[in-house]
């Protein structure tokens, strides 16, 4: 079982090796997409993931993490192979639907198998370090893919999408080498099982409710920026050849913060580290809205630094309050809520960028999360 741990790091690396994402916006703008179109297809992806999330997480808890990851690997390979040939709005929507199934199968299953594969005597710090290592692998992968994507885009904007198609088969190969865990599985009826999950998330304890809401809000705080940064770089007259390097620099910053998140929590405590992590995206939004050019681009690194801290600290806090038997389902419910919120707000944000400019949109988003930060300050010290 322990051999699963490094294999899951490699699995995480290759599922996030996105050669195409750093040039996604300009590539599809070249095929007639507006920013609203970009956010609409991402909202469709979010809705599709939301619809697939809970059934896939439940399947994982009932039938095994390895089988679920293999199924996710198959869908992942098919989706990104198709994307290399997709040009129209509806062809991209089809990609988003297949990719949504892939990510919903992978989401939660990887963390659940990681927890099963760790020694039973592993404490919270060991689990936080493992989550940090998984996050580190993902972010280093995104950075590597971004550098490669930027280099390939200098020759052709279509080339990163073709390379992505070839790399998309690696997660499936790695998933086939994993060993199934031997954790306890749910044995009740479907209704009883889902009732247990939802009661645990919302009525089990105040700590469980807070960790669930904090993970939702602050994961969104950095995710919104993913589809705003490329437009911001364009408005700052950053050459497109630099997009890959900028994407890589951001993900390297997030990788570093994900590695130091657990040691910082051990030294500072959960509350202080969380407050530090969550102020970073707020400062970044206001900084980019206020300053133009390279100063704003540099301040945008706060989004990436916050992302690394938030994903490790809040995911570990959330999973700490979950029993193993329905960990995948609970993580899928959390992801479902995340995707639904993005499905509702994503197109609105895209419309705002098209009509009022990216700087004003950044300022509005910054104000929203500043208000959430004030709420975070009032939470008990046990958070």
For the chain, how far is it from start to end, CA to CA, in angstroms? 32
Q: Please report whether residue 382 resides in a domain.
A: no
User: How many structural domains are present in the chain?
Assistant: 1
In a domain, 97, yes or no: yes
- For residue 50, give every residue at least 6 positions away whose Cβ sits within 8 Å of its Cβ, in sequence order, or none: 335, 336, 339, 340, 343
In a domain, 147, yes or no: yes
Distance CA 241, CA 150 (A): 6
Interatomic CA distance for residues 20 and 244, integer angstroms: 9
Alpha-carbon gap, residue 73 to 12, rounded angstroms? 11
Asked if the structure places residue 239 within a domain, the reply is: yes
pLDDT value for 330: 85
- Which residue intervals of 107-228 are DSSP H helices? 109-117, 124-153, 159-167, 170-175, 190-203, 206-226
Residues spanned by the domain of 77? 4-179+190-377
CATH number at residue 247: 1.20.1250.20
Residue 364's pLDDT is what? 93
Cβ atoms 313, 188 nearer than 8 A: no
pLDDT the model gives residue 69: 94
DSSP string, 11-30: HHHHHT--SSGGGHHHHHHT
**Residue 227 CB contacts under 8 Å (≥ 6 apart), including other chains:** 25, 38, 39, 42, 346, 350
DSSP state of 204: S
The answer to whether residue 285 sits within a structural domain is yes
Structure letter (DSSP) for residue 194: H
Give the mean pLDDT per block of 10 residues along the chain (383 residues).
84 90 79 81 83 85 87 95 89 93 88 78 74 85 82 85 92 92 66 79 81 89 82 84 79 88 88 93 94 87 91 86 80 83 84 89 93 87 54
Q: Which whole-number Å values give the CA distances from 109 to 62, 91, 98, 165, in the listed order?
A: 11, 28, 18, 23
Decide if 264 is inside a domain. Answer: yes
The owner of tokens 């509806």 is 90
The Cα–Cα gap between 25 and 229 comes to 10
Q: What distance in Å separates the CA atoms of residue 313 and residue 254, rounded to the nearest whole number?
A: 13
Q: What is the pLDDT of residue 120?
A: 58
Look at residue 167 in the predicted model and tell me its pLDDT.
92
At residue 383, the pLDDT reads: 46
| Residue 73, pLDDT score | 95
**Residue 149 lies inside a defined structural domain of this protein:** yes
Any domain includes 67: yes
Query: What pLDDT sits at residue 119?
Result: 62
């Amino acid at each position: 079982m322990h051999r699963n741990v490094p294999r899951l790091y490699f699995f995480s690396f290759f599922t996030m090796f996105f050669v195409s994402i750093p040039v996604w916006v300009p590539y599809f703008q070249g095929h007639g997409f507006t920013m609203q179109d970009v956010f609409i297809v991402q909202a469709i992806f979010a809705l599709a993931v939301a619809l697939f999330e809970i059934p896939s997480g439940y399947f994982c808890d009932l039938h095994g993490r390895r089988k679920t990851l293999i199924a996710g690997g198959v869908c992942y390979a098919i989706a990104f192979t198709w994307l290399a040939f997709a040009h129209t709005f509806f062809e991209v929507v089809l990609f988003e639907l297949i990719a949504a199934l892939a990510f919903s199968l992978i989401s939660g299953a990887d963390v659940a198998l990681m927890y099963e594969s760790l020694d039973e005597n592993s404490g919270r710090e060991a689990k936080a370090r493992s989550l940090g290592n998984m996050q580190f692998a993902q972010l280093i992968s995104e950075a590597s893919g971004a550098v490669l994507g930027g280099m390939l885009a200098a020759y052709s904007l279509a080339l990163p999408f073709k390379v992505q198609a070839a790399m998309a088969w690696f997660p499936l190969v790695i998933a086939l080498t994993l060993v199934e865990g031997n954790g306890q599985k749910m044995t009740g009826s479907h209704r009883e099982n889902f009732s247990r999950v939802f009661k645990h998330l919302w009525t089990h304890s105040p700590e469980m409710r807070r960790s669930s809401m904090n993970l939702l809000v602050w994961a969104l705080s950095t995710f919104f920026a993913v589809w705003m940064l490329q437009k911001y770089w364009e408005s700052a007259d950053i050459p497109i050849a630099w997009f890959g390097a900028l994407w890589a620099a951001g993900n390297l910053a997030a990788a570093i913060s994900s590695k130091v998140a657990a040691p910082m929590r051990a030294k500072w405590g959960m509350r202080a580290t969380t407050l530090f992590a969550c102020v970073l995206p707020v400062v970044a939004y206001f900084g980019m809205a206020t300053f133009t050019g390279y100063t704003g681009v540099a301040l945008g690194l706060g989004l990436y630094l916050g992302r690394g801290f938030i994903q490790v600290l809040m995911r570990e806090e959330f999973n700490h309050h979950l029993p193993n038997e329905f960990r995948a389902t609970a993580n899928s419910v959390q992801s479902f809520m995340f995707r639904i919120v993005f499905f509702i707000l994503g197109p609105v944000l895209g419309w705002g960028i098209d009509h009022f400019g990216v700087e004003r949109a950044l300022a509005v988003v910054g104000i929203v999360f500043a208000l959430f930060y004030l709420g975070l300050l009032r939470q008990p010290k046990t958070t």
